[in-house]
Every structure is written in C-alpha cells, then in structure tokens.
C-alpha cells in the first residue's frame, strides 16, 4: 500500500511552546489529508480535514487557532499545536487519500506528544 510518514514520532515539550508535526505522502499525491487525535485506549477522533491549497475544515470543538493546519503541497500537511498545555498531550495521527485511490485511506505511524 501507499506510505504515509509522520515526523516526529515522539516529542516532549514544555507548556507554552509550539510543536509542529509533519505528515508526508511518500509515493503518491494526497489531495486530502486528515488529522486525528487518539487518547489512551480510545478510538480516533477526527480533528480536521486538510485540502491542498485551501483552508482546513475543523470538526466541532476543535480550536483552529490552537491546532494550525497547513497543506501547502500535495505531499505535505503540517499540524502545529500552539501554546501547548498538558491536556494537549495525546497521540496524533494523519491519514491521506491519493488522487488515484479507490477511496482507501492510508495512515501515518502517529506522533506522541507529551507536554510537561
């Protein structure tokens, strides 16, 4: 299947700092990328849908000024957690859909954020 890469896999930061997580589609062009958040032993919750070249669409309850999403190219989307707080600590996973796919979504390996 297609490969989606996330970086970093692990990040620890202090409260108040900003953290950027990258999501790259390595062998295909992703017209749409999705960002999910997963709490321990829970399922994935969609945060936002990111379309290349346009503003992201955020799900209800997700603060767009806190979770900045940029999808500047067909292979890269970034999620920036601004002014991070301990409650932002979570597992963040991105997924991508290719132009040629039959609807199948491919997921990155996830990024574990810990805010001290």
Partner 1 sequence: KQEVTQIPAALSVPEGENLVLNCSFTDSAIYNLQWFRQDPGKGLTSLLLIQSSQREQTSGRLNASLDKSSGRSTLYIAASQPGDSATYLCAVGFNAGNMLTFGGGTRLMVKP
Q: Does 108 bind partner 1 (CB under 8 A)?
A: yes
Residue 32 sits in the site that holds partner 1 (CB under 8 A): yes
Give the Å distances, CA to CA, from 8 to 12, 58, 65.
10, 23, 21
- State yes or no: residue 89 binds partner 1 (CB under 8 A): no
Given a contact cutoff of 8 angstroms between Cβ atoms, the answer to whether 115 and 98 are in contact is no
Could you tell me the CA-to-CA distances from 95 to 11, 72, 102, 105 in Å, in that order?
19, 16, 15, 6
58-77 mask for partner 1 (x: CB under 8 A)? --------------------
State the residues that interact with partner 1 by CB under 8 A. Answer: 1, 4, 6, 32, 34, 42-46, 49, 91, 93, 95, 97, 102-110, 112
């Amino acid at each position: 299947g297609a490969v989606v890469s996330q970086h970093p896999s692990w990040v620890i930061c202090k409260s108040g700092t900003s953290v950027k997580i990258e999501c790259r589609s390595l062998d295909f062009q992703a017209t749409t990328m999705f960002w999910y958040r997963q709490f321990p032993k829970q399922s994935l919750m969609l945060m936002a849908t990111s379309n290349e070249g346009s503003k992201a669409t955020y799900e209800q309850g997700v603060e767009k000024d806190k979770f900045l999403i940029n999808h500047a190219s067909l292979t890269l989307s970034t999620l920036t957690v601004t002014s991070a707080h301990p409650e932002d600590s979570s597992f963040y996973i991105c997924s991508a859909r290719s132009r040629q796919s039959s609807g199948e979504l491919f997921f990155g390996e996830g990024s574990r954020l810990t805010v001290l």
